[in-house]
Amino acid sequence: MTNDASPKAAKKLFIKTYGCQMNVYDSQRMAEAMGAEGYVLTEDQAEADMVLLNTCHIREKAAEKLYSDLGRLKPLKSEKPDLKIGVAGCVAQAEGEEIVRRMPLVDLVVGPQTYHRLPAMLRGEAPAILTEFPAEDKFDHLPARQATRRAPAAFLTVQEGCDKFCAFCVVPYTRGAEVSRPVDRILREARDLVGRGVREITLLGQNVNGWHGEGPDGREWGFGRLIRALADTAGLDRIRYTTSHPNDMADDLIEAHGAVPQLMPYLHLPVQSGSDRILKAMNRRHTATQYLRLIERIRAARPDIMLTSDFIVGFPGETDQDHADTLRLIEEVGFGTAFSFKYSPRPGTPAYERAEVDGALADARLQELQALLTRQQKAAQEGMVGRTLGVLFEKPGRLPGQMVGKSDYLHSVFVEAPEAQVGDLVQVRIVESAPNSLHGELVA
Ligand code: 5AD
Ligand code: SF4
């Protein structure tokens, strides 16, 4: 964010981000848009002139969090009547003016596709509630990427929205239809980021591997081709992407995992369930066996790849047998880590009206599944001990002379490296596995 306004004159913006990495990216872009208006970011909500809550609607709990946080803002708003409070993101999109009705202290409500208009909204030149899906592309109206803070790893949105309509999911409604950003914009944003010291880019999209677009060669490119083009960006050492759908793992993308050294050996590929009955009821449009065969092909291309996934337990109609099938799939794949959630019925989705699994039973299944995933995560981490891996230093560690960064497999690694700087990409021999991190030594 630019800091050309004098510190005294600058207004302060506090952003709280809920939910996924796309929201983290959107928050950065909103900070940049507000930076052009003279706002600087603050980490202290109490000194803010504007508080922006960038929300998540994926599960009921995530959405309710907004209202409890807004309730807690009431004293601050009474103390500072000029304080502007904005709600952005997927709850804003889904609930619109209902938010202001329930919480009149909210000044602005802005959906994920309209946040480029935030400055105009603030100036009163645009409606205070904006949740349409405009024909214009917000990225064309946002300031160029700026260094919010010196960080060697960055996100880059290449695709938004989802046409898959899984029966449990609000994303197709809150984020809209699948849209791919054009190749030239993506390559330009990547070059801008690298020019600012970024060495690792995570490509983002709700259905990122469904990305497609016309290449500079006039041909239709798929996501694998885009990754190859990005890999030609000098200075870009690492590429990752998230989140993918199994049905969009095209051949050229699988091949890229074997052929592109910058593409990290890590893939998040949500499967949600290991039961064909439940996969069908979820409208996932693939079977457990198809997922397993796909994993085999990916591992053939990149044998050392680490796989992660998402699971939902207690989806309507899930029996003990369905749950056992999910556990078996997990055993068969062996995940590096995974996210697992108890099913949360979301208004407006096809599964909303369906009879729910008993809550206590779903809790018990979730515990059992998480215990298995925790064992696999531990095994995956322990399997790193003795290996030499790349680590990109992101910040100083807790101890003097220590640095912490991410390994090729996205594990946090602590390294004694008094001479090193943030942004160094070094070779590290892993010596120890702690519960949520690894410890390693610099390889000379
Ligand atoms: N209930 C529980 N989990 C959900 N997810 C999406 N919708 C729901 C829901 N209604 C999970 C899925 C998805 C992840 C981002 O959130 O596992 O992959
Ligand atoms: Fe939601 Fe399914 Fe689309 Fe993922 S693929 S965003 S779970 S509808």
- Check whether 127 has a pLDDT greater than 80: yes
**Residue showing tokens 């807790």:** 398
- 412 belongs to a structural domain: yes
Return the ligand number nearest the Cα of 311: 1
pLDDT value of residue 83: 97
Q: Are 87 and 28 in a shared domain?
A: yes
Q: Are 50 and 150 in a shared domain?
A: no
Q: Are 82 and 147 in a shared domain?
A: no
Q: Average of pLDDT values for 68-77?
A: 96
Q: How far is the CA of 368 from the centre of ligand 1 (A)?
A: 18
Q: How far is the CA of 184 from the centre of ligand 1 (A)?
A: 32
CB 194 within 8 A of CB 233: yes
Using DSSP's 3-state secondary structure scheme, residue 212 falls into strand
CB 405 within 8 A of CB 392: yes
211 lines ligand 1 (CB under 6 A): no
pLDDT band at 147 (very low <50, low <70, confident <90, very high): low
Q: Average of pLDDT values for 186-210?
A: 96
pLDDT value of residue 90: 96
Q: Are 162 and 122 in a shared domain?
A: no
Q: Which atom of ligand 2 is nearest to the CA of 284?
A: 2
Q: Are 232 and 192 in a shared domain?
A: yes
Handedness of CA 92, 93, 94, 96 (dihedral sign): positive
**Residue showing tokens 């010596």:** 431
d(CA 87, CA 335): 36
Q: Are 126 and 256 in a shared domain?
A: no
Return the ligand number nearest the Cα of 352: 1
d(CA 269, CA 311): 10
- Check whether 254 has a pLDDT greater than 80: yes
Q: How far is the CA of 164 from the centre of ligand 2 (A)?
A: 6
Q: Average of pLDDT values for 345-350?
A: 96
Return the ligand number nearest the Cα of 349: 1
Q: How far is the CA of 270 from the centre of ligand 2 (A)?
A: 9
Q: Are 423 and 403 in a shared domain?
A: yes
d(CA 181, CA 137): 9
- 436 belongs to a structural domain: yes
Q: How far is the CA of 38 from the centre of ligand 2 (A)?
A: 37
Which one of 130, 164, 182 terminates a domain? Answer: 130
pLDDT value of residue 144: 79
Q: Average of pLDDT values for 227-243?
A: 97
Q: Which atom of ligand 1 is nearest to the CA of 20?
A: 15
Q: Are 334 and 185 in a shared domain?
A: yes
- Check whether 6 has a pLDDT greater than 70: no
Q: Which atom of ligand 1 is nearest to the CA of 168?
A: 10
- 350 belongs to a structural domain: yes
344 lines ligand 1 (CB under 6 A): yes
- 4 belongs to a structural domain: no
207 lines ligand 2 (CB under 6 A): yes
Residue 214 annotated as lining a ligand binding site: no
Q: Are 259 and 186 in a shared domain?
A: yes
- 5 belongs to a structural domain: no
The rounded mean pLDDT for the chain is: 95
169 lines ligand 2 (CB under 6 A): yes
Q: Average of pLDDT values for 60-85?
A: 94
Domain extent, residue 114, equals 11-130
Return the ligand number nearest the Cα of 268: 1
Q: What is the CATH number of the domain that holds 411?
A: 2.40.50.140
Q: Average of pLDDT values for 264-270?
A: 98
Residue 360 annotated as lining a ligand binding site: no
- 89 belongs to a structural domain: yes
165 lines ligand 2 (CB under 6 A): yes
Residue 411 annotated as lining a ligand binding site: no
341 lines ligand 1 (CB under 6 A): yes
Q: Are 63 and 161 in a shared domain?
A: no
Q: What is the CATH number of the domain that holds 31?
A: 3.40.50.12160
Parallel, antiparallel or unpaired: strands 84-88 and 306-313: unpaired
- Check whether 356 has a pLDDT greater than 60: yes
- 22 belongs to a structural domain: yes
- Check whether 329 has a pLDDT greater than 90: yes
Q: Are 123 and 158 in a shared domain?
A: no
164 lines ligand 2 (CB under 6 A): yes
d(CA 166, CA 115): 26
How many structural domains does the chain have? 3
Which one of 64, 98, 130 terminates a domain? Answer: 130
Number of neighbouring beta carbons within 10 Å of residue 50: 22
Using DSSP's 3-state secondary structure scheme, residue 78 falls into helix
Q: How far is the CA of 276 from the centre of ligand 2 (A)?
A: 17
- 30 belongs to a structural domain: yes
**Strand (E) or helix (H) holding 258:** helix 251-259
Residue 70 annotated as lining a ligand binding site: no
Q: How far is the CA of 272 from the centre of ligand 1 (A)?
A: 8
Q: Are 401 and 373 in a shared domain?
A: no
pLDDT value of residue 146: 66
Which one of 382, 397, 425 terminates a domain? Answer: 382
Question: Roughly how many angstroms between the first and final C-alpha of the chain, as a whole number?
Answer: 37
Q: What is the 3-state secondary structure (H, E, C) of the chain?
A: CCCCCCCCCCEEEEEEECCCHHHHHHHHHHHHHHHCCCEEECCCHHHCCEEEEEECCCCHHHHHHHHHHHHHCHHHHHHCCCCEEEEEHHHHHHHCHHHHHHCCCCCEEECCCCHHHHHHHHCCCCCCEECCCCCCCHHHHCCCCCCCCCCCEEEEECEECCCCCCCCCCHHHHCCCCEECCHHHHHHHHHHHHHCCCCEEEEECCCHHHCEEECCCCCEEEHHHHHHHHHCCCCCCEEEEECCCHHHCCHHHHHHHHHCCCECCEEECCCECCCHHHHHHCCCCCCHHHHHHHHHHHHHHCCCCEEEEEEEECCCCCCHHHHHHHHHHHHHHCCCEEEEEECCCCCCCCCCCCCCCCHHHHHHHHHHHHHHHHHHHHHHHHCCCCCEEEEEEEEECCCCCEEEEEECCCCEEEEECCCCCCCCEEEEEEEEEECCEEEEEECC
- Check whether 149 has a pLDDT greater than 70: no
